[in-house]
Amino acid sequence: MDLKAAEKFRGFFFLASLFCAFFVIPATVHADEENSKCFVCHGKVDFANPLKTGKVISLYINFKEFSETVHGKKLCTDCHTDVKQIPHRNVIGKVNCANQCHFLGNPSGAPETMKYIEYKNSIHGKALFAGNHAAPQCQDCHGKHNIFKPSDTRSFDARENIPKTCGKCHLQEYVDFNTSIHGTQFKAGNKDVPVCTSCHGEHNIFKPDDARSTVSAEHITKTCSACHDKVQIMEKYGIPTEQVATYDESFHGIAVEFGVKKAANCSSCHGYHDIRASEDPGSSININNIPKTCGKCHPGANVNFAKGKVHINPKSKESGIVYYISKAFMVLTVSTMLVLIIHIMLDLRKRMQKRKGNRE
Amino acid sequence: MVKEGEKVLRVNLIFRIQHISLMVSALVLAVTGYALLMHKSEAGKFIINFLGGYESRALIHRISAIVLIAVCIWHYLYVLFSKKAHDEFLKIIPSISDVKDFFTTIAYYLGGKKSFPNFDKFNFIQKFQYWGVAVGMTAMIMSGLVLWFKDISMAVIPKWAIDTLMALHGYEGVVTFLVLFIWHQYNVHLNPSVFPMDRVWLDGMIDVERLRKEHPLEYDRLMSESAKGGR
């Protein structure tokens, strides 16, 4: 906090503290009462800290909302342990959720999870500890005085709010997602479509070129197929589910299976944040855009690339000539084998007859 | 004069070298191709990883393909431009007598005839194998080259044609392999008259006695030639 700005409010703080001392009974330990001391000032909507830069940091906290959060029964000073007196004379530091409460074996009853360790190893955590202050910390995604359970629509981490929460920093991705088939469906209230965390994970987010990432070349097929090979989800939208299996059998799929990263995976052709339906003229797999999309890897790709299906299942009649070739060869192979084996049997039988005849 | 108990040349050295090169390259192609077809099975995974991964499997497959293509071209030029080889080639061209031989053989198997028909140097089974290989190799080489140079070929022919050739390459490979593995194995290894192995492919020589039994027309021709030539 800007110290000089704080000085300006010193008189105000003093009066406020006098008010607290006289009108609030300090002996009660009930959180609401104890906290109400703080809300004398922090409960005022226009309570703010104007910085020299012209930016105004609001210090207002909605008391009613706070009392309904997961920390609603906590004392302000449970987290803000550096608040020792009113008015505050010291700079009030950031709360460190992991060190103060949410560590394994904590005595305060805070939920204990490995998520902090996951975060520490993630791209966000690594960036933060490397000194990048733009990297998100707990509060950036979870909120500060407005932390609710993810099932609560007011939570930053409620499914409804995830894209916005991530979009605070990842603006371009947010815009791309909003215009994609997933994003437009999401806005329409569809509960099946993925939000950021569905593909990227939560605390364990890695860069896409990191093999540990759920969206890396190694794992993207698995991530997409979490929904796209589930008949019960896809049949609602008329999206075929064999795309994953047919990809696995394609040259691209086999190459990726054996660790060739340059081979195309789902996102190479379909895009990622801005995935659109193939009928959409803006889709990378729209028939008019296929030459360009294939051309990313296959120099000289032209309109021929768009003449024919991409996800081919030789067992399905929709595959056209490939289906008939597959059927014809099945007949050819079986009948050839049959004829050859019959020949071998006949030949052996005759030889045995002859040998018997010779012996006699 | 060819005498009893002697051996005569049946396959010359160049044909034997061609046969061995074809055999080795086709085997490597079959194994590396099988691994790709069966990439989900343990065997397929093992072969691909054993060969050093996806890309080195492809490299080995293509090196073998170059050997096989070279053998095919060499063989083609050899039977076309060498007098000796061309004469041999004429003997393996199918004729009406092969159809007759086929039915006579069936009749023999079923007890209608007392013996095999009188075969020439190459019986109809051997001719069928030769031409089967010729057709198979042509199909495999053509489709294989299209797949190998995919960026060029895809710019020229539509994707569905590539997909068709890809499917054909796989299925034709399986048929060729099964024919060689089951039938050719039987004819040159497991057949009681040659078991454990017909050695012609190694030294090129055949017993005169066996020639007389299995290829009587060729035997007669050799006899008359040697009588005339006083060899």
Per-residue model confidence as pLDDT tens digits over A120-149: 899 999 999 998 988 998 889 898 888 888
Q: How confident is the model at residue B165 (pLDDT cuts 50, 70, 90)?
A: very high
User: Could B159 and A308 be called an inter-chain contact, meaning their C-beta atoms sit closer than 8 Å?
Assistant: yes
Q: How far apart are CA B168 and CA B141, in angstroms?
A: 11
Domain assignment present for B1: no
CB-based contact A82:A90 (threshold 8 Å) = yes
pLDDT number for residue B4: 66
Domain assignment present for B2: no
pLDDT number for residue B32: 95
Does the structure show a pLDDT above 80 at A12? no
How many domains does chain B divide into?
A: 1
Does the structure show a pLDDT above 90 at A51? no
User: Could A351 and B150 be called an inter-chain contact, meaning their C-beta atoms sit closer than 8 Å?
Assistant: no
Chain A residues with CB-CB distance to B110 below 8 A: 346
> CA separation (Å) from B117 to A68, A97, B90?
100, 94, 20
Reported as a single tens digit per residue, the pLDDT across A283-301 is: 999 999 999 999 999 988 8
CB-based contact A59:A47 (threshold 8 Å) = yes
A306: nearest CA partner in chain B: B159
Instruction: Identify the residue whose tokens are 């990227």.
Output: A200
* B196 preceded by a cis bond (ω within 30 of 0): yes
Chain A residues with CB-CB distance to B155 below 8 A: 300-302, 304
Instruction: Output the pTM of the full model.
Output: 0.80
Per DSSP bridges, beta strands B7-9 and A56-58 are unpaired
Domain assignment present for B13: yes
Does the structure show a pLDDT above 50 at A28? no
Reported as a single tens digit per residue, the pLDDT across A196-239 is: 999 999 999 999 988 899 999 889 999 999 999 899 999 999 88
Q: What is the DSSP letter of A179?
A: H
**Both structure tokens of A328:** 């014809």
Reported as a single tens digit per residue, the pLDDT across A254-275 is: 999 898 888 999 999 999 999 9
User: Could A300 and B152 be called an inter-chain contact, meaning their C-beta atoms sit closer than 8 Å?
Assistant: yes
E strand or H helix that includes residue A313: none
Average pLDDT of chain A is: 85
**Both structure tokens of A166:** 């991530």
pLDDT number for residue B106: 92
Instruction: Identify the residue whose tokens are 């061209």.
Output: B93
β-sheet bridge partners, residue A50: A56
Domain assignment present for B107: yes
pLDDT number for residue A146: 87
Burial code (b: 16+ CB inside 10 Å, e: under 16) for B207-217 equals bbebbbebbbe
Stretch B166-178: mean pLDDT? 93
Between residues A100 and A345, the one the model is more confident about: A345
Q: How far apart are CA A168 and CA A266, in angstroms?
A: 27
Q: Show the CA angle centred on residue A91, arms to residues A89 and A95, nearest 5°.
A: 125
Percent of chain A scoring above 70 in pLDDT? 91
Q: What is the DSSP letter of A156?
A: T
- Please tell me the distance in Å from B190's CA to the nearest CA on chain A: 10
Does the structure show a pLDDT above 60 at A26? no
Who among B106, B150, B179 is closest to A340 (CB)? B179
Between residues A2 and A94, the one the model is more confident about: A94
Chain A residues with CB-CB distance to B108 below 8 A: 350
Of the candidates A156, A332, A42, the one whose C-alpha atom is nearest the C-alpha of residue B174 is A332
Stretch A154-166: mean pLDDT? 90
Least confident range from A34-38, B2-6, B142-146, B222-226: namely B2-6
pLDDT number for residue A162: 92
The domain locations on chain A are 1-93, 97-205, 317-355
CB pairs under 8 A between A and B: 106
**Both structure tokens of B188:** 């040159």
pLDDT number for residue A38: 83
Does the structure show a pLDDT above 70 at A360? no
Least confident range from A71-85, A157-171, B17-31: namely A71-85
ipTM score: 0.87
User: Could A258 and B48 be called an inter-chain contact, meaning their C-beta atoms sit closer than 8 Å?
Assistant: yes
The stretches of A96-179 forming alpha helices (DSSP H) are 97-100, 115-121, 123-129, 138-142, 162-167, 171-179
pLDDT number for residue A113: 80
* A87 preceded by a cis bond (ω within 30 of 0): yes
CATH of the domain at B178: 1.20.950.20
Who among A300, A307, A347 is closest to B159 (CB)? A307
Q: What is the DSSP letter of B183?
A: I
Its domain, for residue B46, covers: 7-229
Q: How confident is the model at residue A247 (pLDDT cuts 50, 70, 90)?
A: very high
Least confident range from A107-111, B119-123, B201-205: namely A107-111
Instruction: Identify the residue whose tokens are 């009660």.
Output: A28
**Both structure tokens of A326:** 């597959």
User: Could A254 and B159 be called an inter-chain contact, meaning their C-beta atoms sit closer than 8 Å?
Assistant: no
User: Could A309 and B163 be called an inter-chain contact, meaning their C-beta atoms sit closer than 8 Å?
Assistant: yes
Who among B155, B167, B174 is closest to A304 (CB)? B155
The 3-state secondary structure of B71-109 reads HHHHHHHHHHHCHHHHHHHHHHCCCHHHHHHHHHHHHHH
pLDDT number for residue B23: 95
Q: How far apart are CA B39 and CA A251, in angstroms?
A: 11
Reported as a single tens digit per residue, the pLDDT across A80-92 is: 888 887 788 777 8
pLDDT number for residue A30: 63
